[in-house]
């Protein structure tokens, strides 16, 4: 098989992995070396389905010995198989880089032999690129669950980012949908990566969720009726991973990220570790998914959790036969994740056991604000930074601008838009020293309790993405 045909097969096989963002690294040029990983030198483009394609994103091999039901490369799937020799992949990366086709590489692999053998082959590519070729471009390596701590540490030595995908939001779903993977194998790699990056993993306690986290009223569960993971579990208890922090008084992800306990002398893994959660291949609620994501950020110094809408490729009885990937749900989870990382929210503020799914029509911050009207209106002339961040339509940048602008004189409603405040949302939730903004284009005073407020806050994502969304009964699950 020639290299071009291999490339076709192995780049196509890699496209469903969403955990390939190249953000977070600024590897400088080396004297006498080749290339650099500086953010300014990286040109991002995105495929029509939203996946990053600015990197050479390819598998070393798709001849996988494992059988994850959601994966096109699973052992039991009848697809063309191919594999590169490590040296062949090195040449490809260097040739593409020299031709300016790529700014970096995302290298993963199906499991060929055992996890350590696969890891060694990936590391061999990385080491050759860095040492022999003196290639200094951005490199993201995938770690294989169950790989030894030494190999994970070596992968971290050569790569900007290493990711290990957790894939399923509960141990039970992992057991039924990805039977060759185990929580222990995944978390041991995460712990090794955290340590390689100079972060001591936090102590965790076991937990589980009550049935209300996977409510029987959730009609989405009918889509999983034939799944062994769901049939009994939804009615009883669904064990989730052993990733709850020991302290109930835990900090927010935003606080921890500001105060990152990273050893400044740890030169490895500048872009940290990331992981991917497949959404819609198993029955866990958004509350379970967000709770897990929050704990991964807090416990293992995760840089990013990616939510990947399950793409039904070829039928498998272990996963639901969806009409299309649940993109609206993926979109809302990303919005909620943004609230962790940049707005100081905690998972249990966004969702709870009695409200387990994100609102389909509202972004999670608007939905939270409408549920917490006792915290509004916020006076933009008196509120502190964290209070401003909680206002729909105000982000980190506009909150900082408000603090600066009001130091001169008190702000009036008409000044807010110029500071970057999105008034069509914020108008319902702020005052300016007692003056309530008017709704744009109307003489109505903004009032979040008015009947039109919720309709005015609907963002239209359902219309854009709803055609491929699992249809949950949001009212029934509220
Ligand atoms: S280990 Fe699972 S997810 Fe990874 S390539 Fe193999 S079948 Fe796919």
Ligand 1 and 223: CB distance under 6 A: no
- Please give the distance, rounded to the nearest whole angstrom, from the Cα atom of residue 350 to the centre of ligand 1: 32
Least reliable range by pLDDT among 197-201, 272-276, 336-340? 197-201
Whether cis (ω within 30° of 0) applies to the bond prior to 248 is no
Q: Kindly report, residue by residue over 261-280, the tens digit of the pLDDT.
A: 555 555 688 888 999 999 98
Q: Which atom of ligand 1 is nearest to the CA of 110?
A: 5
Between CA 341 and CA 323, with CA 465 as vertex, the angle to 5 degrees is 115
Among candidate residues 267, 316, 373, the one with its CA nearest the CA of residue 72: 316
Q: Indicate if ligand 1 lies below 6 Å from the C-beta of 111.
A: yes
d(CA 107, CA 125): 9
Q: How far apart are CA 141 and CA 298, in angstroms?
A: 22
> Residue 33: exposed, middle, or buried by beta-carbon count in 10 A (0-12, 13-18, 19+)?
middle
Residue 208 has pLDDT above 60, yes or no: no
59 lines ligand 1 (CB under 6 A): no
Alpha helices by DSSP H, listed for 418-459, are 423-426, 451-457
Please report, for the chain, the start and end positions of each structural domain, with discontinuous segments joined by +: 1-162, 164-360, 364-459
pLDDT tens-place string over residues 97-155 = 998 888 889 999 999 989 999 999 999 999 999 999 999 988 999 999 999 999 999 99
Helical H runs in 277-417?
Answer: 286-300, 327-343, 347-350, 364-371, 385-389, 396-405, 413-416
Summarize the confidence of residues 209-231 as an average pLDDT. Answer: 31
On whether ipTM exceeds 0.95, the answer is yes
For 150-169, the DSSP string reads HHHHHHHHH-SEEE---BSS
Does residue 66's CB lie within 6 angstroms of at least one atom of ligand 1? yes
Atom of ligand 1 nearest to the CA of 13: 5
User: Ligand 1 atom 7: the closest Cα is on which residue?
Assistant: 74
Radius of gyration of the chain (CA): 23
pLDDT given for residue 198 in this prediction: 83
Measuring from atom 4 of ligand 1, which residue has the nearest CA? 110
Question: Is 231's pLDDT higher than 80?
Answer: no
Q: Does residue 237 have a pLDDT over 80? A: no
Query: What is the CATH class of 1-162?
Result: alpha beta
Distance CA 211, CA 381 (A): 44
């Amino acid at each position: 098989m020639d290299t071009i045909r291999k490339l076709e097969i192995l780049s196509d096989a890699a496209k469903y992995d969403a955990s390939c963002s190249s953000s977070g690294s600024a590897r400088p040029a080396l004297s006498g070396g080749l290339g650099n990983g500086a953010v300014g030198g990286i040109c991002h483009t995105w495929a029509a389905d939203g996946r990053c394609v600015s990197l050479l994103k390819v598998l070393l091999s798709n001849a996988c010995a494992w059988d994850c039901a959601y994966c096109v490369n699973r052992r039991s799937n009848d697809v063309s198989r191919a594999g590169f020799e490590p040296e062949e992949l090195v040449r490809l990366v260097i040739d593409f880089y020299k031709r300016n086709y790529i700014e970096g590489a995302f290298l993963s692999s199906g499991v060929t032999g055992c996890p350590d053998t696969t890891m060694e082959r990936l590391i061999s590519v990385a080491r050759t690129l860095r040492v022999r070729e003196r290639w200094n471009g951005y490199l993201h390596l995938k770690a294989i669950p169950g790989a030894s701590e030494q190999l994970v540490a070596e992968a971290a030595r050569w790569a900007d980012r290493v990711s290990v995908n957790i894939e399923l939001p509960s141990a039970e779903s992992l057991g039924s949908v990805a039977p060759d993977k185990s929580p222990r194998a995944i978390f041991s790699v995460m712990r090794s990566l955290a340590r390689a990056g100079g972060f001591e993993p936090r102590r965790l306690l076991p937990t589980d969720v009550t049935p209300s986290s996977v409510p029987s009223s959730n009609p989405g569960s009918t889509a999983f009726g034939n799944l062994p993971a769901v049939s009994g579990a939804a009615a009883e208890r669904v064990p989730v991973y052993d990733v709850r922090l020991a302290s109930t008084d835990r900090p927010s992800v935003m606080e921890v990220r500001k105060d990152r306990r990273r050893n400044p002398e740890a030169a490895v893994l500048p872009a940290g570790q990331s992981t991917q959660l497949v959404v819609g291949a198993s029955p866990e609620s958004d509350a379970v998914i967000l709770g897990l994501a929050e704990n991964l950020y807090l416990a293992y110094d995760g840089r990013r959790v990616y939510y990947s809408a399950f793409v039904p490729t070829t039928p498998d009885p272990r996963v639901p036969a969806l009409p299309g990937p649940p993109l609206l749900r993926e979109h809302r989870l990303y919005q909620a994740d943004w609230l962790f990382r940049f707005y100081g929210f905690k998972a249990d503020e966004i969702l709870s056991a009695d409200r387990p799914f994100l609102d389909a029509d509202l972004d999670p911050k608007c939905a939270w604000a409408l549920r917490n009207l006792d915290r509004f209106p916020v006076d933009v002339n008196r509120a502190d930074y964290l209070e401003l961040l909680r206002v729909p339509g105000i982000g980190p940048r506009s909150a900082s601008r408000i603090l600066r602008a009001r130091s001169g004189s008190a702000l009036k409603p008409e000044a807010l838009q110029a500071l970057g405040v999105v008034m069509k949302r914020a108008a319902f939730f702020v005052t300016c020293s007692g003056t309530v903004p008017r709704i744009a284009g109307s003489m109505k005073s903004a009032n979040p309790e008015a009947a039109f407020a919720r309709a005015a806050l609907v963002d239209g994502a359902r219309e854009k993405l709803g055609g491929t969304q699992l249809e949950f009964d949001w009212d029934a699950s509220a």
